């Protein structure tokens, strides 16, 4: 059952133009906060909120990205839905992650792609890897998005709902007709 407060939050998220998935996650993190204290989130004090973030950091030891998502969702709720500008939101910061990305060698990539037996999936994985695409963007690619004359792929509604072009390699262009 959706409460009036939850409904207002969901409407605020829509009006703010956030993606559907972000909306779901923000509602979820506010719900987790409410469940933690066994009361409506509008009844939670700033001191309790501060203690909750310390709990996430010290007891649950959530990852920096999880803390950032929790902070963003909860902050949105209190700032936009309840109009509460608490200083706790300025204090909480996730530690910066200093991990280098895993970069596979050419041989490792070839080994992974050659182990995929279905041609359709091999073409799909080669395309998202070769063009540096996210999985969801790759799923939505259409034949019309491939511009073989200019050697470009038109990415529609990528991250941030933005369109862009990415280069298309000769080897990938030769592989695409197989699918």
Domain boundaries, the chain: 4-91, 106-178
Whether residue 67 is predicted with pLDDT greater than 90 in this model: the reply is yes
Q: Under CATH, domain 106-178 is a member of which superfamily?
A: Intergrase catalytic core (1.10.443.10)
Whether residue 55 contacts residue 36, with contact meaning beta carbons closer than 8 Å, is answered with yes
Q: How confident is the model at residue 171 (pLDDT cuts 50, 70, 90)?
A: confident
Q: CATH fold of 4-91, please?
A: DNA polymerase; domain 1 (1.10.150)
Q: Is residue 167 classed as helix, strand or coil in its secondary structure?
A: strand
Cα-flanking dihedrals φ and ψ of residue 165, to 5°? -115, 140
- How much is the pLDDT for 179? 66
Q: Which two tokens stand for residue 51?
A: 């203690």
> Taking the model in full, what pTM does it have?
0.61
Reference 152, options 136, 160, 161, 163; nearest CA is 163
CB burial of residue 85 (10 Å; 0-12, 13-18, 19+): exposed
Reference 50, options 95, 87, 5, 9; nearest CA is 87
């Amino acid at each position: 059952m959706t409460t009036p407060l939850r409904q207002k939050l969901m409407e605020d998220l829509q009006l703010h133009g956030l993606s559907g998935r972000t909306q779901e996650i923000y509602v979820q993190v506010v719900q987790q906060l409410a469940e933690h204290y066994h009361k409506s989130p509008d009844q939670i004090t700033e001191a309790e909120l501060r203690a909750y973030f310390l709990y996430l950091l010290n007891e649950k030891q959530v990852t920096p990205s999880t803390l950032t998502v929790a902070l963003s969702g909860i902050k949105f709720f209190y700032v936009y839905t309840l109009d509460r500008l608490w200083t706790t939101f300025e204090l909480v910061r996730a530690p910066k992650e200093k991990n280098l990305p895993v970069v596979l060698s050419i041989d490792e990539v070839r080994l992974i792609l050659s182990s995929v037996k279905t041609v359709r999936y091999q073409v799909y994985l080669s395309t998202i890897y070769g063009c540096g695409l996210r999985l969801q963007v790759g799923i939505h690619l259409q034949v019309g998005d491939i511009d073989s004359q200019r050697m470009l792929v038109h990415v529609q509604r990528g991250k941030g709902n933005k369109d862009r072009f990415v280069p298309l390699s000769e080897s990938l262009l030769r592989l695409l007709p197989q699918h």
